[in-house]
């Protein structure tokens, strides 16, 4: 059961979710939010179909590069407005924003370190101030410095846990309070959990925690028609995966999946688009392993 600082919403008995005391879902505009959210997730792709639609709003962390960048462009093409969060790479984030806006979409870059509670709070406040509503939250930000457990490198461990697990906890917490009814919350795990490669200890520990949080939050949001899922990509050709690896290592890991290639950011952005879009509504409390059969 939730602790005393949590209050039950509304007057319904079974099927209600829980919000922290003081937290407000956007229920005063519930009808507006709900219908808008339904419209958001129920519309076909916008620019892809040559239509300039103004749909829902996605808050996306770690969108300046890598997989997040491609997700931002894909969801903008789907018709969503996108908040492009980044940690330090303002120029790259602005590039993503410019690419979206010059194609007729809506986007805004907001700096926030996902490991910092005040930053994450501000990220959501600024997003709501700019767009009025949040329909989808994608917590994609992550890091993967490797270190064998035997080395006892607690600094690396703490850093990875702070960004990947504490960051997910903070973003999910804000998402739980602010995503409009009918919305979607998507976190990022990794398929490497199933492989247990040496030196991946801190990273795998952090992502195992992410999967736990996703299942619990899906239950906490009972009654709000909000789905909570994680995507667990296999190896994807971004800086996070490629940095520090030899050509030989990259080739060897790429050939592990029966599809015998390295994943590309587009492979993952398509899965996010599915979960955020009209066909993803019945998928809840799941971890989608998008990995070409790697695990």
Q: Give me 271's structure tokens.
A: 């899965």
Binding positions for ligand NDP, 192-221, rule CB under 6 A: none
Q: Tally the residues of the chain.
A: 295
With binding defined as CB under 6 A, does residue 229 bind ligand NDP? no
Binding positions for ligand NDP, 77-116, rule CB under 6 A: 85-89, 92, 113-115
From 7-15, 20-28, 41-49, 229-237, give the range in contact with ligand NDP by CB under 6 A: 229-237
**Residues 63, 162 contacting (CB under 8 angstroms):** no
- The distance of closest approach from Cβ of residue 234 to ligand NDP in the complex, given in angstroms and rounded to an integer, is 6
Which phi and psi (to 5°) does residue 161 adopt?
A: -65, -40
With binding defined as CB under 6 A, does residue 140 bind ligand NDP? yes
- Which DSSP letter does residue 166 get? I
Strand partners for 19? 7
CA distance 77 to 81: 9
With binding defined as CB under 6 A, does residue 190 bind ligand NDP? yes
Strand partners for 129? none
With binding defined as CB under 6 A, does residue 127 bind ligand NDP? no
**Residues 49, 79 contacting (CB under 8 angstroms):** no
Q: Between 55 and 173, whose beta carbon lies closer to ligand NDP?
A: 173
Question: Residue 53: how many CA atoms within 13 Å on its side-chain side?
Answer: 23
CA distance 237 to 239: 7
Q: Choose, by CB under 6 A, the member of 229, 238, 254, 273 that binds ligand NDP.
A: 238
From 21-29, 35-43, 99-107, 136-144, give the range in contact with ligand NDP by CB under 6 A: 136-144
Q: Between 147 and 163, whose beta carbon lies closer to ligand NDP?
A: 163
- The distance of closest approach from Cβ of residue 218 to ligand NDP in the complex, given in angstroms and rounded to an integer, is 19
From 28-36, 58-66, 150-158, 174-182, give the range in contact with ligand NDP by CB under 6 A: 58-66
With binding defined as CB under 6 A, does residue 292 bind ligand NDP? no
Q: Choose, by CB under 6 A, the member of 81, 235, 277, 280 that binds ligand NDP.
A: 235
CA dihedral angle for residue 16, residue 19, residue 22, residue 24, rounded to 10 degrees: -70
Q: Considering Cα of 268, then 270, then 271, then 272, what sign does the dihedral take?
A: positive
- The distance of closest approach from Cβ of residue 281 to ligand NDP in the complex, given in angstroms and rounded to an integer, is 23
What SS3 string covers 47-79? HHHCCCCCCCEEEEECCCCHHHHHHHHHHHHCC
- The distance of closest approach from Cβ of residue 247 to ligand NDP in the complex, given in angstroms and rounded to an integer, is 16
With binding defined as CB under 6 A, does residue 136 bind ligand NDP? no
Which phi and psi (to 5°) does residue 12 adopt?
A: -75, 150
With binding defined as CB under 6 A, does residue 267 bind ligand NDP? no
Residues that bind ligand NDP (CB under 6 A): 61-68, 85-89, 92, 113-115, 140-144, 163, 167, 188, 190, 233, 235-236, 238-241
């Amino acid at each position: 059961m939730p602790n005393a600082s949590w209050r039950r919403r509304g007057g319904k008995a079974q099927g209600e979710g829980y919000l922290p005391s003081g937290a407000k879902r956007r229920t005063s505009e519930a009808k507006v939010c709900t219908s808008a959210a339904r419209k958001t997730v129920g519309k076909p792709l916008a620019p892809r179909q040559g239509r300039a639609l103004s749909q829902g709003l996605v808050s996306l962390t770690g969108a300046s590069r890598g997989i997040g960048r491609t997700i931002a462009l894909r969801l903008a093409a789907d018709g969503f407005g996108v908040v492009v969060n980044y940690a330090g790479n303002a120029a790259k984030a602005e590039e993503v924003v410019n690419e979206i806006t010059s194609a007729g979409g809506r986007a805004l870059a907001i700096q926030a370190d996902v490991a910092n509670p005040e930053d994450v709070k501000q990220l959501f406040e600024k997003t709501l101030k700019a767009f009025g509503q949040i329909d989808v939250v994608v917590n994609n930000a992550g890091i993967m410095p490797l270190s064998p457990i035997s080395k006892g490198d607690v600094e690396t461990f703490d850093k990875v846990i702070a960004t990947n697990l504490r960051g997910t906890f903070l973003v999910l917490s804000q998402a739980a309070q602010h995503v409009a009814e009918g919305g979607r919350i998507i976190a990022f795990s990794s398929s490497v959990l199933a492989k247990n490669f040496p030196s991946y200890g801190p990273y795998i520990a952090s992502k195992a925690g992410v999967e736990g949080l996703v299942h619990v939050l899906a239950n906490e949001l009972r009654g709000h028609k909000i789905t909570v899922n994680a995507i667990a990509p296999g190896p994807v050709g971004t800086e996070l995966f490629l940095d520090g690896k030899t050509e030989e290592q990259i080739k060897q890991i790429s050939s592990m999946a029966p599809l015998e290639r390295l994943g590309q950011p587009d492979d993952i952005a398509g899965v996010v688009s599915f979960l955020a879009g009209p066909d993803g509504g019945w998928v809840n409390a799941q971890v989608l392993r998008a990995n070409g059969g790697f695990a």
